[in-house]
């Protein structure tokens, strides 16, 4: 069988700083191969090299040899910059594919899509555009459980038909024909702590129509020290709800906050203003807690996606309430444990939009947003939500 990609003794550095070294692998035609590694191990860098973006558009020092045959496409961690058209139909540029779950998105503007919906559209566009090899960089990170399972079914339907290189932190998500490791992570999760619940911090009663989300009855109360998770499908309105509470989108009604708060958006790109990690965080103790001390002098925009995510959390202004949009997205197991520890041991209140099932173990309540309604979620409903699409 034809070998489409081959690397021998491959090393990559940026400005003299090594990302990975002496890496070797080969990818055969119609093979499904997974590369596993923690945050900062160089998975995305490897994908950018094989997709031709390094060194053509991103300068780097490359040592060793590598060969690539045929057309290579890449589904990146951040889907937004990959669009070239204004509508989903124009982006895919072919007849509507059947059975891939984008029928309801076909006539939509790409600017109306949630991050998870953008990821699905990018996948279908790559599959429809005749790529010989498809590189997937942590493709499930932005998807809710239903869409993640649908995504996996699409990928499995192309096994043996397409050549696929999957880059990820987790090795338990999908069956493949081979796995290569760029590093290893240890699973260390904290035990749940009981929290004292104090006086009311937040009362919100409003209606909203924004970014494809509409609701006439949002009613929410949050108390000191309380940890509340917000779950829902892609496009259900989780991000819009957090933005409304943070005062970033207009509403009709009231949002009464009895304390100062900090908001962390889902995408950590382009939210940093300082020239180093240390300057961005400002506190050595906080930098050590989030495990970023070795990156203290690094320029934030040159960090990996997972490292940027950690930095976005570490650099939040301290207050009595944190509004977090998918805080564990793009994080490996050990860095997820750091975020769990932070939430678990904090005296502050948290409202967290998430698809991370494990994070719910550290929350006092779970809210489900569905059909424009916000409602309390039982353990049975949580189990059903995370089994959706199976």
CB-neighbour burial class of residue 6 (10 A; exposed 0-12, middle 13-18, buried 19+): middle
Angle at 37 between CA 306 and CA 353, to 5 degrees: 35
In a domain, 195, yes or no: no
Whole-model pTM: value is 0.76
| The token pair that represents 234 in the structure block | 């892609």
pLDDT along the chain (390 residues), means of 10: 90 91 92 90 94 92 94 88 89 76 85 84 84 90 84 83 89 70 71 88 92 83 96 91 94 92 91 94 94 94 92 93 96 92 95 95 95 91 79
Q: 243 and 341: one domain?
A: yes
Task: Look at the chain and report how many structural domains it folds into.
Answer: 2
In a domain, 192, yes or no: no
Q: 228 and 369: one domain?
A: yes
Q: 162 and 220: one domain?
A: no
In a domain, 214, yes or no: yes
pLDDT at res. 271: 86
Q: 15 and 50: one domain?
A: yes
Q: 155 and 250: one domain?
A: no
In a domain, 194, yes or no: no
Q: Specify the residue for token string 């300057």.
A: 279
Whether 51 contacts 44, CB under 8 Å: no
Give CB contacts under 8 A, 24+ apart, made by 254-257.
254/203, 254/204, 254/205, 254/206, 255/202, 255/203, 255/204, 255/206, 256/202, 256/203, 256/204, 257/201, 257/202, 257/321
Q: 154 and 208: one domain?
A: no
pLDDT at res. 124: 86
The domain in which residue 214 lies consists of 200-386
CATH number, domain with residue 379 = 3.40.50.300
């Amino acid at each position: 069988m034809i070998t489409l990609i081959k690397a021998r003794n491959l090393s990559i550095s940026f400005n003299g700083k090594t990302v990975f070294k002496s890496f070797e692998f080969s990818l055969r035609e119609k093979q499904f191969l997974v590369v596993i590694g923690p945050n900062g191990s160089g998975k995305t860098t490897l994908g950018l090299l094989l997709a031709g973006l390094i060194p053509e558009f991103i300068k780097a020092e490359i040592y060793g040899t590598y060969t690539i045959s045929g057309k290579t496409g890449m589904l990146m961690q951040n889907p937004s910059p990959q669009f070239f058209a204004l509508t989903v139909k124009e982006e895919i540029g072919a007849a509507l594919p059947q059975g891939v779950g984008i029928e309801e998105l076909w006539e939509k503007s790409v600017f109306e899509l949630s991050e998870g919906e953008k990821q699905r559209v990018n996948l279908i566009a790559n599959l429809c555009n005749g790529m010989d090899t498809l590189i997937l960089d942590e493709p499930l990170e932005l998807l809710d459980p239903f869409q993640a399972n649908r995504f996996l079914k699409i990928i499995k339907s192309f096994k043996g038909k397409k050549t696929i290189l999957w880059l990820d932190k987790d090795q338990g998500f999908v069956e493949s024909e081979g796995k290569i490791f760029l590093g290893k992570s240890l699973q260390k999760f904290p035990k749940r702590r009981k929290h004292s619940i104090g006086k009311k911090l937040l009362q919100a009663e409003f209606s909203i129509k924004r970014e494809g989300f509409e609701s006439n009855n949002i009613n929410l109360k949050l108390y000191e020290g309380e940890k509340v998770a917000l779950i829902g499908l892609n496009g259900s309105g989780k991000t819009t709800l957090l933005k409304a509470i943070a005062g970033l989108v207009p509403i009709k009604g009231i949002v009464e906050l009895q304390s100062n708060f900090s908001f962390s958006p889902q995408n950590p790109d382009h939210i940093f203003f300082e020239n180093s990690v240390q300057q961005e965080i400002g506190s050595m103790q906080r930098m050590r807690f989030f495990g970023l001390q070795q990156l203290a002098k690094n320029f934030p925009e040159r960090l990996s996606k997972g490292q940027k995510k950690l930095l976005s959390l570490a650099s939040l202004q301290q207050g009595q309430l944190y509004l977090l949009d998918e805080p564990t997205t793009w994080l490996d197991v050990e860095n997820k444990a750091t975020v769990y520890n932070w939430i678990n041991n904090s005296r502050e209140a948290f409202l967290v939009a998430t698809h991370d099932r494990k994070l719910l173990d550290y929350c006092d309540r779970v809210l489900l947003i569905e059909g424009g309604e916000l409602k309390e979620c039982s353990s049975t409903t949580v189990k059903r939500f995370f089994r959706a699409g199976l």
